[in-house]
Structure 1
Amino acid sequence: MTTTLEIQRRLAELGYQPGRLDGIPGRETAAAVKQFQRARNLNADGIVGPVTMAVLFPRKPEGDVSPPWLDLARAKIGLHERLNNKTLRDWLRSDGNTLGDPAQLPWCGDFMETVIALTLPDEVLPANPYYALNWREFGVPLKIVAAGAIAPFTRPGGGHIAMVVGHDKSTFHVLGGNQSNAVTITRIAKDRLAGPLRWPKTFPLPTAELPFTTLDVTVSQNEA
């Protein structure tokens, strides 16, 4: 059975605003459900019934397993570098390494390093994984757009690293740290991709391309 917390996290992942991710249904969650339903031409009653549930949680492509690093990253959506500083700092150092205070330092690489290190202990990490563009040589190149693909981007003055959760014609929908100072999902232009998408060597390659989806958030210009 899908829980309210899972519904809230999924709404946040798609760019809607369910309020606090606390597992408690309330007005903000119901309003986010209605917004999602209207966007999908569903009955906008704010109730996650069977039809809404099927659209909110589409079946994964047959044969592909949800990447564990993506599942872990999704569980951290909403953590903010200042509002949740201690929780975030403790988690970022839970793999035995950390860059430092996320409120003072660019931490997208630290976030990626932590989810990979915790879920794939045998995976070789980039030299200095805290520098986002070093992830351009991580794992192996990927020829399709798949959920969990590691996406290094250029940005003014540096780079950014995140993972793919969806895409449309011109943007990737990516989950990462240090996006609006928190763990969020945002849209980044595909022409900012710094080389091919990457995939860990120690996890089976995906077989199915993600279909185009929509994400109701502004395209990010600079994740600093």
Structure 2
Amino acid sequence: MKIIRIQKALIGLGFKPGPLDGIWGRQTIAAVRAFQTKMGLEPDGIVGPLTLAALFPDQPAEFGLEQADIVWFKEARRLLGTRENPGAGSNPDILDWATDVDVMYKSDDIPWCGLFVGHCIASTLDREALPTNVLGARAWARFGIKTQPTPGAVMVFWRKSLQSGLGHVGFYAGEDTEAYRILGGNQSDSVSLAWVSKDRFVAARWPVTVAAPVPNSVTVGRTDSLSWNEA
């Protein structure tokens, strides 16, 4: 479900989610909490199955990559195409992500896949704790709770070798028999979709402030080659 549909529904019911911009920000979260309180639901600011049913009584349940509650994944999708600046200077949007999550970050020459995930989580889930080392991709293996690979899950991989301590992190956006399709930052120096070998998989994690998912896989046809170096 598109976020703008939720915003329009809230406005129609007398709530104030802020601009009709399709962005899951603090005003929209506050409006969802106000709606949930009025309806006698847990005011968690998440459009889970009960809230979705209250907002859209005739809307069938949604699964996979379109489900309403994976708002951090929707933010990641919105940012597809964001690129680091080549040569001198940095993309100010990427630097702003660091400011927003209170991370010291001077240049987009520094790997920013963890920063991208941190931005998507922090900007859409205002009660979710981030790892201490947001920039460290492998630190995300301790984020939230353990899950199986499933739409929207935070997916952690090793880079160069399992023992190197280096890694990559992004969001589950599908799979085939040998690789996961990952929506992430710093993939070919941009926010993009890339295929990462299942042999490199370290962990799948899920936010603690969102109801644990019933894991399900999404099979996607692959035409691109595997990604091997995301720095």
Normalised by the shorter chain, which TM-score bucket? 0.5 to 0.7
> Could you tell me whether the CA contact under 8 Å between 1:179 and 1:186 is conserved in 2?
yes
**Corresponding position: 1:187 with 2:190:** no
Name the residue aligned to 2:222: 215
Shift of 1:81: 0.3
1:68 to 42, 66, 71: 71
Q: Could you report, residue by residue, the CA deviation over 1:171-217 in whole angstroms, capped at 9, with x for unpaired residues?
A: 000011100000000000011011x3110100122225123111332
- Cα deviation for residue 69 of structure 1 reads 0.4
Q: Would the alpha carbon gap of residues 217 and 88 (structure 1) be closer, same or farther in structure 2, given more than 3 Å must change?
A: farther
Spell out, residue by residue over 1:107-142, the C-alpha distance to the aligned partner (whole angstroms, 9 max, x if none). 111111111111111111111111110111111111
* Structure 2 gap ranges (5+): 3-60
Give the one of 128, 132, 135 matched to 1:127: 132
Cα distance change of structure 1 residues 150 and 122 upon mapping to structure 2, 3 Å threshold = same
CA-based RMSD of the aligned residues comes to 2.4
Q: Which residue in 2 is equivalent to 1:24?
A: none
**Is 1:139 the equivalent of 2:144?**
yes
Amino acid at match of 1:180: S
Tell me the equivalent position of 2:186.
Answer: 178
In the alignment, is residue 200 of structure 1 matched against residue 207 of structure 2? Answer: yes
8 A Cα contact 2:101 2:118, kept in partner: no
Q: How does 1:106-125 map to 2 (within 5 A)?
A: 106-125=111-130
Pair 89,212 (structure 1): closer, same or farther in 2 beyond 3 Å: closer
**Percent sequence identity over aligned pairs:** 30
The alpha carbon displacement at 1:60 in A equals: 4.3
Where do residues 82-121 of structure 1 align in structure 2 (5 Å cutoff)?
82=85, 85-93=90-98, 95-121=100-126
From 168, 182, 185, the equivalent of 1:160 is 168
Poorly superposed stretches of 4+, deviation over 6 Å: none
The amino acid across from 1:150 in the alignment is V
Contact 1:133 1:154 in 2 (8 A): yes
Counterpart of 1:178 in structure 2: which amino acid? N
Q: Deviations over 1:55-77 (max 9, x none)?
A: xxxx9428953401000010110
Which piece of structure 1 moves more, 209-218 or 180-189? 209-218
Alignment of 1:32-51 (within 5 A): none
- Deviation, 1:86, is 3.2
| Count of paired positions | 165
The residue identity in structure 1 corresponding to 2:207 is: P
Letter in 2 for 1:200: P
Task: Decide whether aligned partners of structure 1 residues 191 and 99 sit closer, same or farther in structure 2, where only a CA change above 3 A counts.
Answer: farther
Which amino acid in structure 2 is aligned with residue 125 of structure 1?
A: L
8 Å CA contact retained: 1:179, 1:223? yes
**What is the deviation of 1:102?**
4.5
Mapped to 2, the partners of 1:98 and 1:180 lie a distance apart of: 23
| Partner SS for 1:93 | helix
1:87/1:208 CA distance change after superposition, 3 Å: same
Which runs of 5 or more structure 1 residues have no equivalent in the other structure? 3-58
